């Protein structure tokens, strides 16, 4: 694990590519400098019918790069501008594991100042999901407590930092080997989900009151046992959800938010200042050239990653 800084040197592969068709309408064509992998890549690779994607398809849903060309209806972006974004998932057969990507201008935003393409490529999907869940939905206030399930993962590592920046007391679950990483991110209490009862540990940490908000990055097997950790009238958000008994939520007058990221430039623009200022730093575990995407996917398949894996595409 390492924190990324501007100018990080990484290996690259070489290949000959074909320049794609010109962007149409309100699209921009972006030359991809770096991308990253996400759990959704593995899910679509294994069975993508739920997303309207069937082989052959190019996966990848993070981009940091440079605008190569703009469509005739685009006035917000210009050629040569550094940008970042997360491509659409549903029905999109041409993702970001490529040299060029065309995308609607409305989902593309200027890359945050002061960070390089490798760092920026780790942000859009995971960072945007965490921002939607923590900042927009749960909206923790200073002095409140937030429990994050899966704090060391791609989304969770951003969520910990966003919650901490809001002034909340942050509790997060992780395995013992990720304790130090979570503490460096700003977690006040780290709960080892393998050896501890998460709900009981969270209630002890809050003197029996329970947490004000819970953000789930793991899914039903972790979410439902953790529900007793949330106080009456508390807030819950999940990025995965699942089948189960939600009666406890009803009887405790709790709000439940489902999070599936809607692509928009506005969210990326909202987030940019916290990255430019250094208040939040992406947790990047490994940087690989695009031709080693198979290695990245093998780690995704284990389900036990830390932070993000970034893939470099071009200089």
Query: Rounded distance, CA 39 to CA 48, Å?
Result: 12
Query: Rounded distance, CA 170 to CA 78, Å?
Result: 40
Residue 314: which pLDDT band, with cuts at 50, 70 and 90? Answer: confident
pLDDT for 151: 97
Decide if pLDDT at 20 tops 90.
no
pLDDT for 21: 61
pLDDT for 270: 98
pLDDT for 8: 40
> Measured between alpha carbons, how far is residue 166 from residues 29, 83, 160, 163, 190 in Å?
36, 26, 10, 5, 18
pLDDT for 304: 67
Query: Rounded distance, CA 17 to CA 75, Å?
Result: 28
Q: What percentage of residues in the chain have a pLDDT greater than 70?
A: 92
Mean pLDDT value across residues 63-85: 96
Q: For residues 127 and 14, which has the higher predicted lDDT (pLDDT)? A: 127
Query: Rounded distance, CA 38 to CA 125, Å?
Result: 8
pLDDT for 19: 53
- Condensed to tens digits (0 to 9), the pLDDT of residues 259-274 reads 999 999 999 999 999 9
Residues of CATH 3.40.50.720 domain(s) within the chain? Answer: 127-258
pLDDT for 22: 75
What is the spatial order of strands in the sheet that 189-192 belongs to? 189-192, 169-174, 145-149, 211-216, 230-238, 255-258
Residues of CATH 3.90.180.10 domain(s) within the chain? Answer: 2-123+282-312
Whether residue 157 contacts residue 127, with contact meaning beta carbons closer than 8 Å, is answered with: no
Residues in contact with 199: Cβ distance below 8 Å, sequence separation at least 6, in sequence order? 225, 226, 227, 228, 229
- Condensed to tens digits (0 to 9), the pLDDT of residues 124-175 reads 999 999 999 999 999 999 999 999 999 999 999 999 999 999 999 999 999 9
Decide if pLDDT at 24 tops 90.
no
Mean pLDDT value across residues 234-259: 90
pLDDT for 6: 33
Query: Rounded distance, CA 113 to CA 95, Å?
Result: 25
Decide if pLDDT at 284 tops 50.
yes
> Which listed CATH number (3.40.50.300, 3.20.20.70, 3.40.50.720, 2.60.40.10) goes with 127-258?
3.40.50.720
Give me the DSSP letters along 128-143.
Answer: HHHIIIIIIII---TT
Q: For residues 3 and 12, which has the higher predicted lDDT (pLDDT)? A: 12
Mean pLDDT value across residues 292-300: 91
Domain 2-123+282-312 class in CATH: alpha beta
Query: Rounded distance, CA 208 to CA 216, Å?
Result: 21
Residue 69: which pLDDT band, with cuts at 50, 70 and 90? Answer: very high
Q: How far apart are the first and last CA of the chain?
A: 23
- Which of 137-146, 215-224, 302-311 bottoms out in mean pLDDT, i.e. has the lowest? 302-311
């Amino acid at each position: 694990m390492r924190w990324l800084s501007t100018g990080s040197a990484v290996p690259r592969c070489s290949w000959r590519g074909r320049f794609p068709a010109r962007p149409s309408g309100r699209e921009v064509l972006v030359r991809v400098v770096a991308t990253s992998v996400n759990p959704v890549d593995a899910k679509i690779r294994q069975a993508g019918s739920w997303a309207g994607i069937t082989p052959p398809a190019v996966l990848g849903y993070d981009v940091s790069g440079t605008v190569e060309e703009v469509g005739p209806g685009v006035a917000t972006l210009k050629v040569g501008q550094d940008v970042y974004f997360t491509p659409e998932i549903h029905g999109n057969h041409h993702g970001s594991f490529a040299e060029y990507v065309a995308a609607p201008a409305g989902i593309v935003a200027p890359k945050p100042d002061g960070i390089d393409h490798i760092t920026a490529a780790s942000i859009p999907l995971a960072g945007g999901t965490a921002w939607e869940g923590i900042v927009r939905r749960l909206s923790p206030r200073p002095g409140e407590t937030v429990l994050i399930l899966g704090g060391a993962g791609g989304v969770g590592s951003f969520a910990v930092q966003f919650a901490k920046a809001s002034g909340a007391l942050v509790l997060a679950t992780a395995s013992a080997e990720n304790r130090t990483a979570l503490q460096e991110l700003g977690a006040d209490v780290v709960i080892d989900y393998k050896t501890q009862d998460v709900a009981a540990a969270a209630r002890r940490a809050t003197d029996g009151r329970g947490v004000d908000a819970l953000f789930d990055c793991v899914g039903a097997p972790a979410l439902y046992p953790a529900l007793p950790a949330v106080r009456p009238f508390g807030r819950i958000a999940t990025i995965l959800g699942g089948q189960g008994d939600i009666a406890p939520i009803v009887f405790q007058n709790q709000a439940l938010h489902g999070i599936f990221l809607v692509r928009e430039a506005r969210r990326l623009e909202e987030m940019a200042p916290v990255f430019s200022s250094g208040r939040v730093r992406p947790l990047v575990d490994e940087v690989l050239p695009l031709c080693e995407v198979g290695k990245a996917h093998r780690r995704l398949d284990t389900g036990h990653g830390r932070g993000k894996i970034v893939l470099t595409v071009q200089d």
